[in-house]
Structure formats: C-alpha cells, structure tokens
C-alpha cells in the first residue's frame, strides 16, 4: 500500500517530537499499519529556528496553503494551539477533505461542535487523543473499550503545572508564589502561567471528557473554574491535619438528568489512589456502570508523551484508510444525532463537604457567632481546630471548620454573613472536599 502522506501545522516542541517519533519508530509503525506514515509538509511561520530534528529539504514551508492544496496529503496535524488561527486552519483542512489530528483542547472545548459538524458533513475524522492527559490513552479507551458502559462520573488531575506546584507546597510547606517562581525558572511552568494555574487548561480538558463520557454538548462557560493561586501553605497544612491532600481536580458527574462540571482545588483523602499522583503526572479516574472504577495515569504533557498520542491517532487513521473503512466512529464516540444537551447543575445547588478557614479575633463569642450563622443556614459542623496564641495577643487566629455535607449556596450565604462580623479579620476561604469520588 502507498504511504500515508501527512501535513503538520505548527513546528514547535511537540511538532519536533512527532517528527522524531515518526523517524525513530518508522519500522514498528510500518509493521502495525502496513504502510509508512510520511510527513510530507510542515508549515510554520518560523522555519529557521533549530528544533533539534532534521527534516528533508522542501518539507518546511511558511504557507499553510501548501498543505491544504496538496491532494496527496490526507491527514493534517494541527499543533499551533489556541483558538485562532487554529480554528480557521482546521475548518479549511476539513473542507479540503483531510482528516484531522489535533492536541488542541482549547479549540475543542470552545469550537468542538462546529468542527465536528464540519467533519461529519465532509465525512472525515477528527482525532484528539493528545488533547487530554498528554500520552495517557484515555479518550480512545472511553470511545472504544468502555463504549458499552453508562459512565456516571469522571474526575482527575489534568494539569501537570498545578500538580507540580501543589506537590511541592505539600512536601515542603512552601507557599504558592515561591513554588511558581522556581517552577518557571526550571521550565515546568510557562512564563505566563495564567491558563494553567487559574484552572482554564483543566476546564478545557474537562469539557472534552464530559462530552465523550456523557454524550453531551457543554457550553464552556457553564464549567465552574477556579485555580490554585489562592491556596496558601496554611490550607495545605490544615488539610493534612484533617487527613486530606489538596489537588486541582476536574470533576464531571451525571446524576438524575443533570451534569456537574467543575474545576477547583479539592481536598481528597490521603488514602485515595489519586492522592499519590504527584509532580507533573496526571491521572483520570472514571466509573462505568458495568466496568466499575477505572484509573489511567501517566505523563500528561511533554514532547515525547504528547507525540506518542498524536502518532497513535495517525496510526488509527492510517489503518482505517488502509482498510477503506471511512469514518467508522463519530468524533465523540456517540452517534452525532444521539448527542444531546444535558443541563449543568448550578454551583449553588451542588452538595459537598467543606473545609472553611476563618481568620478571627481570639475573644469570647467568636465561635458562637460563626456557629450561629452556619446553623442558621443548615450547615452542620463535623470538626474544628483553633490554634490559640501562646501568650495573649490581639492578632487574628485561624479557625478551621470541617462541615458535613452541605449545599454550596448555603455555604456561600453563611460565609458572606460571617464576613460582615467585626470579629472576622480577613475574607474567609473554603475548599471543597470529595470523600467518595466514584
């Protein structure tokens, strides 16, 4: 069979990994596909920077049209990231009848519906394994191996930058800003880390997962997104004292005709399997009605793992082309007309346990004031810690309360009421607790 000809748009770090993988593992790929996979053209605005891999003369171009207009190229890999011009390029490639492989979660989270609809119209495939969890083969598993299940929940650690920062805060008792600074110096965090540390990257990945797991279209704006920049060393210390670790979790649940889709720092029990996923590693755990809980973990980013997922998609597409199988599966696994819009539960209606940290004066009536407001809003206290000053001192002390299961709306109301009290010295913070992530 003739080799499969591929065009690559975006020759950065990941693109260079794809070039190297296709070269180093050409033999094993050929032995699995029955044909070679050849990068015929690579388009990037910068074709002079040394990417550490050699490409043959004539492969590099600054014009994406060299890819779109090449009728031998049947697959386009999009690796420029972001919303535009990635969306325009992907739609153009689809229009030209080319299959797409992309690692771009931001694009899929916001414009997936348009892209998939265009692909359906043209009868081409869109593969995106690398968009969630880097090298972890979770999306293909959901679409294929777990296709027989109703999936009820999916959650995980999906951002290596945040997990690295939280791990070091936990292990060293360090503060967020100090760890972020060293992470940037070591190249683990981007110079502008906003999308990572504010949870946006994780929310993009959750949008993709929720669609695949529950067969729904989700409006990205409906995903409640909080990052880790407000987590302090004190939060990490108190969480540990109560038997928990703080992780930035993406949580998706499908219960009684509604879904929950939220990203926020979450306290999880120390003995939960996901609590030991440390550093830049990612983990995704989901529960299907027949299979039960399944957990995937591995490297969620980086040149080699991401290239592994991208070339895995290329191999799958090439096998289909070779078998003349056409478009065997819809992009989300569910048939296109079976995808519905399931309402997203408003945050005020979710229920959770909470760790609430107050900063209050150490004087009579303080606990009474706090407990009174919590009680008024139906919030029951499970346990609490107050660290008193050793000698009399008028500076505030932390009061940390663990609640039983409560409605988020009630927690918000109680805290805003408590924050009006004279005895409260700083804005009160809280962290949600997930004891039963199944």
Which residues are part of the catalytic machinery? 205
> Residues of 347-364 as b/e, b for ≥16 C-beta within 10 angstroms?
eeebebbbbbbbbbbbee
3-class secondary-structure state, position 29: helix
Q: Which is nearer to ligand HSE, 229 or 386 (CB)?
A: 229
Least Å distance, CB 298 to ligand HSE, is 12
**429-433 vs 258-269, strand pairing mode:** parallel
Distances (CA, A) of 132 to 138, 142, 265, 352: 8, 12, 19, 26
Q: 114: which 2 tokens?
A: 């348009």
Q: Under the criterion CB under 6 A, does residue 156 sit at the interface with ligand HSE?
A: no
Q: Contacting ligand HSE (CB under 6 A), which of 10, 17, 135, 160?
A: 160
Q: Which is nearer to ligand HSE, 98 or 204 (CB)?
A: 204
Q: Contacting ligand HSE (CB under 6 A), which of 127, 140, 159, 308?
A: 159
Q: Contacting ligand HSE (CB under 6 A), which of 104, 161, 297, 403?
A: 161
Least Å distance, CB 301 to ligand HSE, is 4
Span 166-225, contacts to ligand HSE by CB under 6 A: 196, 201
Q: Which is nearer to ligand HSE, 208 or 251 (CB)?
A: 208
Span from 23-31, 156-164, 309-317, 349-357 in contact with ligand HSE (CB under 6 A): 156-164
Nearest to 245 by CA among 284, 275, 281, 277: 275
3-class secondary-structure state, position 256: coil
How many beta carbons lie within 10 A of that of residue 382, not counting itself?
A: 14
Nearest to 203 by CA among 159, 167, 244, 172: 159
Q: Contacting ligand HSE (CB under 6 A), which of 301, 309, 356, 411?
A: 301
Q: Which is nearer to ligand HSE, 160 or 227 (CB)?
A: 160
Least Å distance, CB 281 to ligand HSE, is 10
Q: How far apart are CA 250 and CA 265, in angstroms?
A: 9
Question: Which residue stretches of 78-133 are H helix?
Answer: 86-95, 105-122
Q: Under the criterion CB under 6 A, does residue 300 sit at the interface with ligand HSE?
A: yes
Least Å distance, CB 277 to ligand HSE, is 12
Q: How far apart are CA 247 and CA 274, in angstroms?
A: 9
Q: Which is nearer to ligand HSE, 78 or 201 (CB)?
A: 201
Residues binding ligand HSE: number (CB under 6 A): 7
Nearest to 35 by CA among 59, 3, 62: 3
x/- track of binding to ligand HSE for residues 246-285 (CB under 6 A): ----------------------------------------
Radius of gyration for the chain, computed over Cα atoms and rounded to the nearest angstrom: 24
Residue ranges binding ligand HSE (CB under 6 A): 159-161, 196, 201, 300-301
């Amino acid at each position: 069979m003739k080799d499969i000809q591929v065009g690559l748009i975006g020759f950065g770090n990941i693109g260079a990994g794809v070039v190297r993988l296709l070269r180093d593992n050409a033999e094993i790929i050929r032995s699995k596909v029955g044909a070679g996979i050849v990068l015929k053209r690579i388009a990037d605005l910068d074709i002079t920077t040394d990417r550490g891999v050699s490409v043959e003369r004539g492969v590099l171009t600054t014009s994406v049209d060299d890819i779109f207009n090449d009728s031998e190229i049947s697959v386009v890999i999009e690796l420029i990231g972001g919303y535009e011009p990635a969306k325009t390029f992907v739609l153009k490639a689809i229009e030209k009848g080319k299959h797409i492989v992309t690692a771009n979660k931001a694009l899929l989270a916001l414009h997936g519906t348009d892209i998939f609809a265009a692909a359906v119209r043209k009868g081409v495939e869109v593969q995106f394994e690398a968009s969630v969890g880097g090298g972890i083969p979770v999306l293909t598993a959901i679409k294929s191996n777990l296709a027989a299940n109703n999936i009820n929940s999916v959650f995980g650690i999906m951002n290596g930058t945040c997990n690295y920062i939280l791990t070091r805060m936990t292990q060293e008792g360090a503060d967020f800003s100090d760890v972020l600074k060293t992470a940037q110096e070591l190249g683990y965090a981007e110079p502008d880390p906003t999308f990572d540390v504010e949870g946006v990257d994780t929310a993009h990945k959750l949008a993709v997962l929720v669609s695949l797991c529950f067969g729904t279209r989700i409006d990205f704006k409906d995903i409640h997104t909080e990052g880790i920049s407000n987590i302090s060393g004190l939060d990490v210390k108190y969480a540990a004292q109560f038997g928990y670790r703080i992780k930035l979790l993406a949580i998706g649940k499908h219960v009684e005709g509604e879904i929950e889709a939220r990203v926020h720092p979450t306290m999880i029990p120390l003995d939960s399997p996901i609590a030991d996923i440390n550093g830049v590693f990612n983990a995704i755990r989901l529960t299907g009605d027949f299979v039960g809980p399944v957990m995937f973990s591995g490297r969620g980013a980086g040149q080699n793992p991401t290239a592994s997922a991208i070339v895995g998609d290329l191999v799958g597409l090439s096998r289909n082309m070779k078998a003349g199988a056409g478009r065997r599966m819809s992009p989300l696994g569910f048939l296109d007309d079976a995808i519905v819009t399931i309402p997203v539960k408003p945050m005020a209606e979710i229920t959770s346990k909470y760790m609430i940290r107050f900063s209050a004066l150490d004087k009579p009536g303080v606990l009474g004031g706090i407990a009174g407001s919590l009680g008024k809003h139906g919030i029951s206290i499970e346990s609490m810690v107050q660290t008193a000053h050793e000698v009399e001192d008028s500076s505030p002390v932390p009061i940390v309360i663990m609640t039983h299961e409560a409605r988020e709306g009630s927690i918000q109301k109680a805290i805003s009421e408590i924050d009006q009290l004279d005895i409260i010295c700083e804005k009160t913070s809280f962290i949600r607790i997930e004891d039963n992530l199944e």
